[in-house]
């Protein structure tokens, strides 16, 4: 079975999670689709962009060690090994990171555009780049990766949303396929909310739904996570945990979702950032032009149960579903069915999602989906039912 060799640029939290979940890729895909998929991923290179060893320390499950030394090739030397990545033994030999028997080339670079990706993996080359730094967001910059030393490179995937309309954003089970060499996997919030809104569009008549309110209670991610447990910073509004603050802010979904919907739907998205590192939720209210009945709620629940796996959505029947329960779940989101209620002219529901594990798992499903469609080999569209 042919492998697609991937280079991850900027192995922060997302890059590490992608590396870890690739070993479970078949399980992640087969949960939602019958039949085998042709493309297998192999994380073959990690590019430590400007971190000067911080990323490698994180990968080896270290807290940052100030007394590390560098050799002439700018590779970091660490004192001993630890276990990470679901308990597998992790070590670094000066050139390669070994996760169990998996060998990953480790490169430190201030300018990833100059890397010879064709010579990587003992000359086998890199076919796909996963850009996980958030540094490059427009096509003009990303096209620089496709140079004379990277003739085998075919695809670039971004682990963040983009405002560049020439780069299609893709969410598994929802987005219409578009030919491109660069794709954005959108944001964790977009991956959680967009399938819910598409289900609303599919299930209810457009004239019935007046508008949708979606409020996110979001964990600290991205740059804001750097200020977690920081009592004093140069940006006091981001000092969340110093006073246990909940800060009203924005989410990438507020810009991306309206662009990606298949049909017009009035959606108002708001967000609070919570002083936690994993686990987020949307409170979604579907407002109608008429009075809602209990039959509407039953019909909506039945529709979700019949179509949830098509959108990689998990369901829960627990009466009590704490936010920590979603951490580690590899769904785009999880819907506690007992939380679906109604009043007068609206239906209210809660949508939980892990902004790391859930997002990465859905991103991998999107990558497989895209690559198989590009090769006209996506023939197993018989989704399993709940």
What H or E segment, with its residue span, contains residue 55? helix 54-59
Same domain membership, residue 346 and residue 368: no
Query: What predicted TM-score, i.e. pTM, was given to this entire model?
Result: 0.83
pLDDT at 182: 95
User: Is residue 45 classed as helix, strand or coil in its secondary structure?
Assistant: strand
Q: Tokens 């682990």 label which residue?
A: 159
Same domain membership, residue 236 and residue 125: no
Q: Is residue 172 part of a domain?
A: no
User: Is residue 109 classed as helix, strand or coil in its secondary structure?
Assistant: strand
Q: Is residue 177 part of a domain?
A: no
- Please report, for the domain that includes residue 325, its CATH number: 3.30.360.10
Same domain membership, residue 328 and residue 265: yes
pLDDT at 55: 61
Same domain membership, residue 21 and residue 149: yes
pLDDT band of 368, cuts 50, 70, 90: confident
Same domain membership, residue 366 and residue 350: no
Q: Is residue 165 part of a domain?
A: no
Same domain membership, residue 133 and residue 231: no
Same domain membership, residue 224 and residue 81: no
343 phi, psi to nearest 5 deg: -155, 125
Q: Is residue 383 part of a domain?
A: no
Same domain membership, residue 321 and residue 296: yes
Among 156-160, 198-202, 252-256, name the one with the lowest average pLDDT: 252-256
pLDDT at 331: 92
The domain in which residue 93 lies consists of 3-159+360-374
Which has more confidence, 205 or 266?
A: 266
pLDDT band of 43, cuts 50, 70, 90: confident
Number of domains in the chain: 2
Decide: residue 117, CB within 10 A, 0-12 exposed, 13-18 middle, 19+ buried: buried
Tens digits of per-residue pLDDT, 220-245?
765 554 444 444 444 555 554 444 66
Nearest to 45 by CA among 127, 111, 152, 113: 127
Same domain membership, residue 243 and residue 135: no
Same domain membership, residue 155 and residue 13: yes
Question: pLDDT at residue 315 above 70?
Answer: yes
Task: Provide the b/e sequence for 69-89 (b: ≥16 CB within 10 Å).
Answer: eeeeeebbebeeeeebbeeee
Whole-number Cα distances in Å, 268 to 79, 218, 333, 340: 51, 16, 19, 19
Tokens of 287: 């407002």
Same domain membership, residue 241 and residue 149: no
Question: pLDDT at residue 268 above 80?
Answer: yes
- Please report, for the domain that includes residue 47, its CATH number: 3.40.50.720
Whole-number Cα distances in Å, 348 to 90, 251, 339: 45, 21, 8
What H or E segment, with its residue span, contains residue 342? strand 341-343
Q: Is residue 115 part of a domain?
A: yes
Contacts of 227 (CB under 8 A, 6+ apart): 220, 233, 235, 238, 239, 240
pLDDT band of 72, cuts 50, 70, 90: very low
Same domain membership, residue 221 and residue 146: no
Tens digits of per-residue pLDDT, 77-93?
333 333 345 455 677 88
């Amino acid at each position: 079975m042919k492998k697609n060799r991937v280079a991850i640029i900027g192995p922060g939290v997302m890059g590490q999670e992608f590396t870890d979940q690739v070993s479970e890729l078949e399980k992640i895909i087969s949960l939602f689709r019958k039949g085998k998929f042709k493309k297998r991923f192999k994380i073959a290179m990690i590019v430590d962009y400007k971190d000067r060893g911080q990323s490698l320390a994180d990968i080896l499950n270290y807290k940052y060690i100030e007394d590390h030394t560098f050799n002439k090739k700018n590779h970091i030397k660490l004192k001993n090994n630890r276990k990470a990545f679901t308990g597998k033994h992790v070590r670094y030999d000066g050139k390669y990171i070994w996760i169990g028997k998996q060998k990953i080339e480790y490169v430190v670079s201030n300018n990833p555009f100059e890397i010879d990706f064709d010579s990587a993996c003992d000359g086998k080359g890199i076919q796909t780049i996963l850009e996980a730094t958030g540094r490059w967001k427009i096509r003009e910059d990303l096209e620089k990766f496709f140079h004379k030393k990277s003739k085998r490179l075919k695809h670039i995937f971004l682990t963040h949303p983009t405002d560049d309309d020439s780069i299609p954003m893709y969410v598994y089970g929802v987005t219409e396929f578009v030919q491109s060499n660069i794709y954005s996997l959108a944001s964790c919030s977009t991956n959680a909310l967009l399938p819910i809104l598409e289900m609303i569009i599919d299930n209810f008549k457009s004239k019935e739904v007046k508008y949708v309110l979606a409020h996110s209670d979001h964990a600290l991610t991205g740059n804001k996570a750097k200020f977690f447990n920081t009592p004093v910073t140069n940006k006091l509004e981001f000092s969340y945990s110093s006073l246990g603050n909940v800060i009203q802010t924005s989410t990438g979904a507020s810009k991306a979702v309206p662009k990606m919907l298949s049909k017009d739907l009035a959606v108002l998205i708001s967000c609070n950032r919570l002083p936690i590192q994993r686990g987020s939720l949307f409170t979604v209210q579907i407002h109608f032009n008429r009075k809602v009945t209990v039959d509407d709620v039953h019909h909506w629940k039945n529709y979700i149960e019949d179509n949830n796996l098509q959108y990689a959505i998990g369901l829960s029947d627990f009466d009590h579903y704490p936010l920590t329960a979603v951490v580690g779940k590899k769904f785009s989101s999880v819907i506690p069915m007992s939380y679906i209620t109604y009043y007068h002219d609206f239906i209210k529901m809660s949508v939980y999602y892990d902004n790391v594990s859930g997002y990465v798992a859905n991103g991998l499903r999107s990558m497989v989906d895209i690559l198989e469609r590009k090769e006209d080999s996506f023939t197993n569209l018989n989704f399993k039912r709940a």
